[in-house]
Amino acid sequence: MMTPIQIRPDEALDELSGFQNKLTHGVQNLMEVGEVSTGATPREVIYDEDKMVLYRFQAPASVVQNPVPLLIVYALVNRPYMADLQENRSMVRGLLDAGMDVYLVDWGYPGRADRYLTIDDYLNGYLDRCVDVIRKRHRVDAINVLGICQGGTFSLCYASMHPDKVANLVTMVTPVDFQTPDNMLSNWVRHVDADLVVDTLGNVPGEMLNWTFLNLKPYRLMGQKYLDMVDILDNPDQVANFMRMEKWIFDSPDQAGETYRQFLKDFYQQNKLVEGGLRIGKHEVSLKNVTMPVLNVFATEDHLVPPDSSRALKKLVGTKDYTEQSFKGGHIGIYVSGRAQKEVPPSIGKWIDART
Amino acid sequence: MADSGSTADQWLEAQRRYWDAWMDMTRRGLDAASPGQSTPQNPWADAMEQWLKAVAPATPKPANDLLEQMVNVGKSYFSMAEGLYKGAPSGDMPEMIENWTKMMTEAFQGGGANFNPFAQLAGKSGRQGMAFWDLPFDTLSRTFSGSMPIPGDFMKAFETAKPTDLREQMEGFLSAPAIGYGRESQEQHQQLGRLMLDYEKAMSDYQAGFAHLGQNSLESFQKRMQTAAEEGKTINSVREVFNIWVDACEEAYAEYAMSEDYARRYGRMVNALMALKKQGTRLVDEWLEAMNIPTASEIATLQRRLHDTRSDYQALRAQVERMQGELDEHEGGNGEVQQLREELAELRAALKKQQSDNASSSGSGAATDDEAAAEKPKRSTRRSRAASSSASGDKKTAATKTTGKTTTTKSATTKTGKTGTTRRKSQ
């Protein structure tokens, strides 16, 4: 076989030598990073209940705000500060600059005493009360909702159960069809006994979820990434950015057992959002009830939520005002990449403004 | 860091010496090295380890973890470079790649995960890579080591190459009938032992599923090389080769991870671990109960009851808020009635006054006319109210409209329970 590899030994030596120099000298930067801070935008606590906190972000005084507030609903499986990671990587900041009045639900870290919290408790309890608090504060009947990842799935369920409280719905990297052929997570849990897992563990450890997510692409996420990091070791700012991201990746709250049980069985194993038959508390959840305008934003390179899983929404949703927006990037890049900052929040703001 | 500068210098000097040797190796070939010359298997990695040990104590925890990751993956990267050049002492590229892939193929076929320079990259080979799934088991073993007839670390024996004999012996022991006063307890422990064996087998099967992955990765790598050659592309750095190798590994891994075979092995492994842990918890509970200490299941019951009580409380609170809203509306309605009463009283007083005035002006014979006159204003009042009901700004009209609106909203509230807050706020 002819080989395309054309590396002279001295070139290889230079390359490897350069690598070791970067590592040796860059380690000082690594040690000087100190405490990794996250969350860039000033915010205030509006409402809290148990471990859940509702925040409102401080808008720049110069921006004219949309009168209808926007509530960000994040996933339970990671921490929401990903949406406001740092000054120049903040989706929240971008939305504020686009004239949105931004609120965010932080679900907190469930403890062992929270193991019986159900999806009903989260959506028809905590989330619904947050929505009511915001509606009351702003004297509006309905607010705008932006759901991210699993938070997007939850937002769809909420909008289906309470359509009169949601004026416009934005879903970002949101799984809808949990059984597309390229959904690795879905394949993995097909034969897992969800009842046995929850009955045994109570809450499902965040470490277990982390292990699962990292093993979707183990060679990249647990190997290659760290080799690439050596390239940036000489830049303290980039090292700090990397550390911030690492902190977020490994900051996985445990999952309340009953919520995990229902999510695994109803969404992943039985795909009820597509197949029908989903019940949350007293409500029957049908995406046909989602009649408000919907903007569905997905990432074309998403390894966690395949684009087809998100795109399935188009055929299922009841609204006549449905818009799709694709972002060329991955599941994380859609919040934090430089291009995402320029593209995603402004387009969300524009879409909402056109419907307010 | 105590002496980071000198440590770095020493390490770099060691590396420089190694590079000299390495360059020499590429010129002469490792195999041609003079007999008796001691050439470490991977001197760079050894030196790297030493350096890591020197700097690690002074490195803060998060940075230390990262550093370790970087060193580990760096070792893989360097191993690849070494492997390439060891494979072709002459420096001939096609020969180099051919020999390298041949070496890798033989290593994989021989089941030698340790030959894979990327084995440590993602921890996919060997027991170490499965540390997460062993973790709960380790904890469990330690918990049990003092309280059960089987030593807590006896499972280690199954991690040897051929555990069959021990497994058979264990199965024999576990199938012995339980007798006597402690029969029930013995059965529970036997069940735990059986579940341990099940888990160990499921874990071994799960790991065995990865056996073909190395070979598949290599085939994918060769295809990528071939495609690049056909397209006339050149690869000019070890890093590019490394990245292509990573892509190849990911492709082979993803293909397997999406298969039914993987899903079944994974499901069996997770379920077996959970069944084992659950049985362990049951035994611990019995132990705790015997000592009058609250058990996990008792606490779970309390948690469940507390959760249900809180749910009831939230439902009742929401109901009280709805009722309070309705009450407020009702009180608002009472105010309107009161207002109407006052207006009516005013009208009556005005009428009485008018009657009195009429009587004084027309004398006592006007009694019949008075009655007629008393009827007229009443009719005219009804008419004027009916007429004014469509006029905006009229106080009474507003009241009537509000009443109508409230009725509508109230019915919506009863149905959905959602509009109360906004409505109450706007009142």
Instruction: Please write the tens of the pLDDT for every residue from B330-342.
Output: 877 777 788 889 9
**Number of helices (H) and strands (E), helices first, in chain A?**
17, 12
Same structural domain for residues B86 and B158? no
Contact A7 B77 (CB under 8 A): no
DSSP state letter for A175: -
Q: Which of B292, B320, B339 is the last residue of a domain?
A: B292
A117 and B307: CB-CB below 8 Å? yes
Residue from B53, B270, B295, B419 whose CB has the most chain A CBs within 10 Å, to mutate: B270
How many other β-carbons are positioned within 10 Å of the β-carbon of residue B367?
A: 9
CB contact under 8 A, A15 and B237: yes
Phi, psi (rounded to 5 degrees) for A167: -80, -50
Closest by CA to A121, choosing from A154, A148, A147, is: A154
At A142-165, the pLDDT tens digits run 999 999 999 999 999 999 999 999
User: 3-class DSSP state for residue A32?
Assistant: coil
Query: Chain B residues with CB inside 8 Å of A7's CB?
Result: 84, 93, 235-238, 241
pLDDT tier, B104 (very low <50, low <70, confident <90, very high otherwise): low
Partners of B261 on chain A (C-beta within 8 Å) are none
**Structural domains in chain B (count):** 2
CA distance B306 to A183: 37
Q: Model confidence at B364, in pLDDT bands (50, 70, 90)?
A: low
Minimal CA–CA distance to A167: which of A141, A138, A132, A129? A141
What pLDDT score does B217 carry?
87
**Nearest CB to A132; choose among B69, B74, B421:** B421
CA dist., res. A286 & res. A273, Å (int): 7
SS3 A170: strand
Cα gap A265→A195, rounded to integer Å: 9
User: Which chain B residues touch A219 with a CB distance below 8 Å?
Assistant: 118, 121-122, 246, 249-250, 253
Q: What percent of chain A has pLDDT over 90?
A: 74
Indicate if B145 and B75 belong to the same structural domain: no
- On whether the CB atoms of residues A93 and A346 are closer than 8 A, the answer is no
Can you give the pLDDT at residue B79? 74
Band the pLDDT of B23: cuts 50, 70, 90: low
Interface pTM, i.e. ipTM: 0.91
Q: Which chain B residue shows the shortest CA-CA distance from A219? A: B122
Interchain pair B266, A188: CB under 8 A = yes
- DSSP secondary structure letter of residue A174: -
Residue B380 domain-assigned? Answer: no
Domain membership flag for residue B315 = no
Answer whether residue B283 is part of any domain: yes
A-chain CB neighbours of B70 within 8 Å are 23, 226-227, 229-230
B243 assigned to some structural domain = yes
Strand residue runs (E) in B311-401: none
Residues forming a β-bridge with A53: A48, A106
Question: What are the catalytic residues of A?
Answer: 149
**Which of B66, B238, B300 faces A15 most closely, judged by CB atoms?**
B238
For A172, A229, A237, B42, B66, the CA distances from B56, given in Å and listed in that order, are 40, 18, 22, 21, 11
Residue B8 structural domain = 4-30+40-92
Cα–Cα distance measured from residue A203 to residue A199, given in angstroms and rounded to the nearest whole number:
9
- Closest C-alpha to B278, from A269, A203, A200, A260: A200
Q: Is the pLDDT of residue B56 over 90?
A: no
Taking phi over 0 as left and psi of -120 to 50 as alpha, with beta for the rest, A79 belongs to beta
CA distance B261 to chain A (A): 10
CA atoms within 13 A on the CB side of A207: 8
Cβ-defined contact of B73 to A4 (cutoff 8 Å): no
Q: Which of these, A178, A219, A149, A249, lies nearest to B124 by C-alpha position?
A: A219
Task: Using pLDDT thresholds of 50, 70 and 90, give the confidence band for residue A2.
Answer: low
**Beta strands A52-57 and A102-106, pairing class:** antiparallel
Question: What is the model's pLDDT at position B7?
Answer: 52
pLDDT at residue B72, as a whole number: 78
Mean pLDDT of B195-204: 92
Work out the mean pLDDT of chain A and round it to a whole number. Answer: 93
Whether the predicted pLDDT of A23 surpasses 70: yes
Helix (H) or strand (E) holding A243: helix A236-249
Average pLDDT rounded to a whole number, residues B197-218: 89
Q: In chain A, where are the structural domains located? A: 43-353
- Full DSSP string of A272-336: HHHHS-EEETTEEE-GGG--S-EEEEEETT-SSS-HHHHHTHHHH---S-EEEEEESS-TTHHHH
For A167-204, the pLDDT digits (tens) are 999 999 999 999 999 999 999 999 999 999 999 999 99
**Is residue B373 in some structural domain?**
no
DSSP letters for B5-31: HHHHHHHHHHHHHHHHHHHHHHHH-GG
Q: Of B65 and B235, which is predicted with more confidence?
A: B235
Instruction: Examine the domain organization and report whether B22 and B137 are in the same domain.
Output: no
Tokens 């058990």 correspond to what residue? B295
B209-268 confidence digits (pLDDT tens) = 988 888 888 889 889 988 998 999 988 888 898 899 889 999 999 999 999 999 999 999
Q: What is the pLDDT, as a whole number, of residue A44?
A: 97
Q: Which residues of B touch A246 (CB under 8 A)?
A: 62, 66
Nearest neighbour of A192 by CB, restricted to B78, B225, B270:
B270
Q: Please check whether residue B269 lies inside any domain of the structure.
A: yes
Q: Which residue has the higher pLDDT, A66 or B49?
A: A66
What confidence tier does B162 reach under pLDDT thresholds 50, 70, 90? low
Closest approach of B353 to chain A, Cα-based (Å): 48
Does A8 score more than 90 pLDDT?
no
Residue B353 has pLDDT above 80, yes or no: yes
Q: What's the gap in Å between the CA of A197 and the closest CA on chain B? A: 6
Question: Cα separations (Å) of A129 from A149, A162, B80, B358?
Answer: 21, 12, 57, 64
Backbone angles phi, psi at B60, to 5 degrees: -60, 155
More confidently predicted of A7 and B269: B269
Out of A3, A125, A136, closest to residue B425 by CB: A136
The answer to whether residue B29 scores a pLDDT higher than 60 is no
Looking at residue A173, its amino acid is: V
pLDDT for the residue B285: 93
Report which of A73, A107, A84 is spatially closest to residue A37, judged by C-alpha positions: A84
Per-residue model confidence (pLDDT) at position B182: 72
Over the stretch A73-111, which tens digit does the pLDDT of each residue have?
999 999 999 999 998 899 999 999 999 999 999 999 999
Residue among A96, A84, A72 nearest A172 (CA): A72
Cα torsion B381, B384, B389, B392: sign: negative
Instruction: Note whether A24 contacts B254, CB cutoff 8 Å.
Output: no
Does position A312 have pLDDT exceeding 80, yes or no? yes
For domain A43-353, give its CATH number from 3.60.10.10, 3.40.50.1820, 3.90.1150.10, 3.40.50.300.
3.40.50.1820
Q: What is the mean pLDDT of residues B146-169?
A: 53
Which pLDDT value is given to residue A191?
A: 97
> What is the CB neighbour count within 10 angstroms for residue A36?
17
Query: Which residues from chain A sit within 8 angstroms of residue B238, using beta carbons?
Result: 7, 12, 15-16
Q: Is residue B418 part of a domain?
A: no
Q: Of A241 and A1, which is predicted with more confidence?
A: A241
Looking at residue B424, its pLDDT comes to 32
